[in-house]
Amino acid sequence: VAPTTPVCEVPSSAMTGTVVQLSCKETEGSPPSEYQWYKNGVALLEKTGTGSARTPNITYTMNKKSGTLLFNPVTKNDTGRYFCEASNGIGLSQRCSVKRLQV
């Protein structure tokens, strides 16, 4: 079964230095969907970035199975427009509407 449009929960604002979690979920897809988060139209990398010491500005963890995007802590650099896409290899992938996070 192809995924339906996921429900995204993105806080509209957050304080610098706090922990912020964005969530994305859809329940119709079978097999269960995997989730990909995007910031300003660019796909975010899974886990905590590339693992290189040159990317200390990556402060998030993305879980493709659960659809969570966790900022620990959130920084001003994380301000942007976010959306998530659900896909399970059947039918078209579905994405939620874009929501702005202001840090």
Domains in the chain (CATH in brackets) are: 7-101 (2.60.40.10)
pTM for the whole thing?
0.88
Range with the poorest average pLDDT among 21-35, 51-65, 80-94: 51-65
pLDDT digits (tens, 9 = 90+) for 8-34: 999 999 999 999 999 999 999 999 999
Give the residue from 81, 97, 78, 95 showing the smallest Cα distance to 34: 95
Residue 19 and residue 42: Cα distance in Å, rounded? 22
* pLDDT confidence of residue 59: 76
Name the pLDDT band for 37 (thresholds 50, 70, 90): very high
